[in-house]
Amino acid sequence: MEATHQPLLRLRDLSTDIALRRGTVHALDQVNLQVDQGETLGIVGESGSGKTMTVLSIMGLLPHGGSVVGGEILFDGRDLRGLEAQELRRVRGVEMGMVFQDPLTSLNPTMRIGAQVAEPLRVHQGIGKAEARDRAVEILRRVGMPRPDKIVDDYPHQLSGGMRQRVVIAMALIRSPRLLIADEPTTALDVTTQRQILELIDDLREEFKMAVILVTHDLGVIAGRADRVAVMYAGRVVETGTTAELFRSPRHRYTEALMRALPESAAADADGQGRLYSIPGLPPDLSRPLTGCRFAPRCRFATDECRTTDVALTPDGAGSGHEFACLHPVTEPVAITASSAAPRAASGAAEPLLTVRDLVKEYDAGGAGVRKVSGRVSAVAGVSFDVAPGETLGIVGESGCGKSTVGRLVAGLEPSTSGQIIVDGTDVATLGRAARHRMHRQVQLMFQDSYAAMNPRMRIDSILTEPLEIQRVGDAAARRARVSELLDQVGLPRRALERYPHEFSGGQLQRIGLARSLALRPRLIVADEPVSALDVSVQAQVLNLMRDLQRGLGLSYVFISHDLSVVDYMADRIGVMYLGKLVEAGPAHQVVRAPRHPYTQALLDAVPSPHPGHASNAGTAIRGELPSAVNPPTGCRFRTRCPLAQDICATEPPLEGGTHQVACHFPLRQEPPES
């Protein structure tokens, strides 16, 4: 390290342990990192990689039982570990600021916004109440809060998620920190809101001349925003370098695998079927002693040397600061080409398996009996689509657009307000109780959080047998045989049957969830955000499995997700929903590459792309917030936020077109001629 150049923050061999009842987890093992003034460092890694523990160690906010056990945290040349408690609190409260992942729970529910935002000033600078309030208004205005002088007196629950995240940012900024730490600041937010927040952090970094540490699992978020990147795996930094360099030529095999596992990379792979590259196995258990490269057990290039030698970060020799800890590094560049997936073969003009016509679902607004109905929430407002046998229909949209409600209605979990759901030629509404009961065999659900969807006190055996018992399928022996077959299909060992849900990882739970929905040999599976809670490498495993099963069993999927790249990878056709309406529907490659509705375009623009300097980080973001579904805008529901809106948009545009339909008076493109 040159003597003249002192980084703002430098971690030297930082090690952190977390004491749990079942043993000690060595969450961080000799982490070395540095952040310069005014620079954005991205820390990327999957869950359990230690990225969050790193920043919590810096802030001294480790959870109960956690403690830094070795190394130095040099902030501005001083080791924070050696500071008095009071001085440490001052550094934390004045020189650093932190933005957390979940804005909904990060604010005190019983304290006014203004009081929470201004609290650091009141505590550390002894500023009076009135002045603190003024400063809070000022900083709230700065982070783009509408009517800040009113918001200061509000409580957190009165604001949307995006607005609450702005409040948390304001709270971090009011102290003019020199280092802003953002831990997954946009993971809980919709893409359009995510974009607003990331841009805000970028702008503020320049204005306040802060250094920023951006922690995320999302390579796309890092690519667009960070100057330098550190990739973490199992409590260690495995690779670090400038963003451009690292994305152009990742050297560590883990970084490479992570990039290849992105759905965006599917088309770049040689495999004609577009299978995703997935990393086999699971990250190591950090409560056990580990030797050698921690990625070795999952790495296809690992040799015996990898399993026995500890590899330190070494420079790549080009002098650009690119360092990696790998004995068999990547030598050829791994370009993630912007995918140009070939259109999948159309499934022909077979009779649709599922037909939905003018589906409407409204809920009573308001709580349980306390107040009378003052309006109706229009969750789904006249949605129509078909799903052919063996086809995947992707439904995308932001939270509150009604996509999950459509899934629940199709699966028969809730009755619709009006409209038709026709499964295999039979209108579900015309069926009696018993017939509808049997109909449920045809349509099954797969959930986002399979753990929450399983009874924690039931063994996997009972969980998988239950649907067969309810539908009275076969005798006990036949059921046992069926359950074993299901496990084979989803790639889990037989011994899983004896275990309970909490003993499995997220990816394994999704496999069990899939097995359960397959138990009754359905023809259609409604998968509601099936991979949203998973890490990229595991997500790839589950997506591959879902496609293999589709091919093998001739399944249809209604694949609901907020993630356009995943839907693009999985779906034959895509429907885009906005505030209860289907605004665009068509073949997946067309919708994603040549969108016709301005909302679809805005959604695509907002998705952070894992290509540094890629065009998608330009373009215009949607402004404003999703309107309320109680009394939604008349006519086109997107018109209140649409850059192209005219007077005519107050009348409702029909969903029109041949194979690529759009509901817009001013479609961005004409439909390409049928070929």
Q: Which is nearer to another protein, 8 or 268 (CB)?
A: 8
Name the minimum Å distance from CB 365 to another protein. 10
The answer to whether 584 and 661 are in contact (CB under 8 A) is yes
Choice between 188 and 538, CB closer to another protein: 188
Cβ-based burial of 652 (10 A; exposed 0-12, middle 13-18, buried ≥19): middle
State which residue, 126 or 369, has the beta carbon closest to another protein. Answer: 369
Of 36, 76, 102, 548, the residue at the interface with another protein (CB under 8 A) is: 102
Report the length, in residues, of the chain: 675
What does the angle CA 339 – CA 340 – CA 344 come to, to the nearest 5 degrees? 120
| Euclidean distance between CA atoms 510 and 454, whole angstroms | 11
What values do phi and psi take at 585, rounded to 5? -150, 135
Between residues 366 and 635, which has the closer beta carbon with respect to another protein?
366
445: which strand partners? 526
Phi–psi pair at 629, nearest 5 degrees = -80, -5
Question: Can you tell me which residue has the tokens 């990625």?
Answer: 295
Q: Is position 100 an interface residue for another protein (rule: CB under 8 A)?
A: yes
Residues 358-377 binding another protein (CB under 8 A) are 366-367, 369-372, 374
- Identify whether the C-beta of residue 529 lies closer than 8 Å to the C-beta of residue 448: yes
59 counts as binding another protein under rule CB under 8 A: yes
**Min. distance of Cβ 90 from another protein in angstroms?**
6
* Interacting residue with another protein among 18, 28, 91, 230 (CB under 8 A): 91
Nearer to another protein, 100 or 295 (CB): 100
Interacting residues with another protein between 135 and 194 (CB under 8 A)? 155, 157-158, 168, 171-172, 175
Distance from C-alpha of 42 to C-alpha of 59, rounded to nearest angstrom: 17
CB closer to another protein, 79 vs 427: 79
CB of 85 to another protein, least distance (A): 8
Among 105, 125, 484, 670, binds another protein (CB under 8 A): 105
Find the DSSP H helices in 491-581. 506-518, 536-553, 564-570
Q: Kindly state the smallest distance separating residue 92's Cβ from another protein, in Å.
A: 4
CB nearer to another protein: pick between 123 and 360: 123
Rounded-to-integer distance, Cα 439 and Cα 433, Å: 10
* DSSP strand pairing (573-578 vs 418-423): unpaired
108 scored as a contact of another protein (CB under 8 A): yes
Query: Shortest approach of another protein to residue 142 CB, angstroms?
Result: 18
* CB nearer another protein, residue 92 or residue 403: 92
Q: Return the structure tokens found at 616.
A: 């998608």
Tell me if 64 contacts another protein by CB under 8 A: yes
Q: How far is the CB of 106 from another protein (least distance, A)?
A: 5
- With contacts defined by CB under 8 A, name the span among 106-114, 408-416, 560-568, 572-580 that binds another protein: 106-114
Residue count at the site for another protein (CB under 8 A)?
A: 41
d(CA 250, CA 322) in angstroms, rounded, equals 9
Ramachandran assignment for 572, one of left (phi > 0), alpha (psi -120 to 50 degrees), beta (any other)? alpha
Q: Does 431 bind another protein (CB under 8 A)?
A: no
State the minimum distance, in angstroms, from the CB of residue 56 to another protein.
Answer: 8
Q: How far is the CB of 87 from another protein (least distance, A)?
A: 10
The yes or no reply on residue 109 touching another protein (CB under 8 A) is yes
Compare residues 21 and 495 and give the one whose CB is closer to another protein. 21
CB 138 to another protein: min, Å: 18
User: x/- binding map, residues 7-46, to another protein, per CB under 8 A?
Assistant: ----------------------------------------
Residue 337 token pair: 């080409």
Nearer to another protein, 369 or 456 (CB): 369
Our CB check for another protein shows the closer of 90 and 328 to be 90
User: In angstroms, rounded to a whole number, what is the distance separating the alpha carbons of residues 281 and 298?
Assistant: 6
Pairing label, strands 236-242, 323-324: antiparallel
Pick the closer one to another protein by CB: 179 or 262: 179
**Exactly one of 111, 335, 452, 648 binds another protein (CB under 8 A); which one?**
111
Quote the least distance from Cβ 494 to another protein, whole Å: 38
- Nearest partner of 560 among 530, 580, 593, 515, judged by Cα: 530
- Is 342:409 a contact under the CB 8 Å cutoff? no
Sign of the CA dihedral with 523 first, then 541, 226, and 145 last: positive
Select 88 or 458, whichever has its Cβ closest to another protein.
88
- Round to whole Å and give the CA distance between 84 and 97: 19
CA-only gyration radius of the chain, Å:
26
Cβ proximity to another protein: between 97 and 352 the closer is 97
Instruction: For residue 189, give the 3-state DSSP assignment.
Output: coil
Query: Can you list the positions of beta strands (E) in 518-645?
Result: 524-528, 556-561, 573-578, 581-587
Q: Please state the closest distance from residue 505 (CB atom) to another protein, in A.
A: 23
Among 14, 31, 68, 107, binds another protein (CB under 8 A): 107
Closest separation in Å from C-beta 289 to another protein: 26
Amino acid at residue number 91: V
SS3 188: coil
Candidate residues 4, 110, 340, 675; the one interacting with another protein per rule CB under 8 A: 110
Is 106 an interacting residue with respect to another protein (CB under 8 A)?
Answer: yes
Q: Which helix (H) or strand (E) holds 78?
A: strand 78-79
With a CB cutoff of 8 Å and minimum separation 6, the contacts of 275 are 266, 269, 544, 547
For the bound state, the minimum distance from the C-beta of residue 17 to another protein, rounded and expressed in Å, comes to 17
Of the candidate residues 12, 81, 89, 441, the single one contacting another protein (CB under 8 A): 89
C-alpha 60: how far from chain center: 27
Binding span for another protein by CB under 8 A among 42-50, 103-111, 210-218, 242-250: 103-111
- State yes or no: residue 224 binds another protein (CB under 8 A): no
The correct pick among 98, 152, 336, 603 for binding another protein (CB under 8 A) is 98
123 binds another protein (CB under 8 A): yes
The pair of structure tokens assigned to 597 is 């509705």
Identity (one letter) of the amino acid at 600? T
Among 30, 38, 61, 199, binds another protein (CB under 8 A): 61
| Measured distance CA(648)–CA(155) in Å, rounded | 38
Q: How far is CA 304 from CA 237, 255, 314, in A?
A: 21, 20, 20
Q: Is 1 in the site for another protein (CB under 8 A)?
A: no
The two three-digit tokens of residue 586, written as one number: 């068509």
Output the DSSP codes for 68-83. Answer: EEEEEEEETTEEGGGS
Name the residues that contact another protein, by CB under 8 A: 59, 61, 64, 86, 88-94, 96-98, 100, 102, 105-111, 119-120, 123-124, 155, 157-158, 168, 171-172, 175, 366-367, 369-372, 374
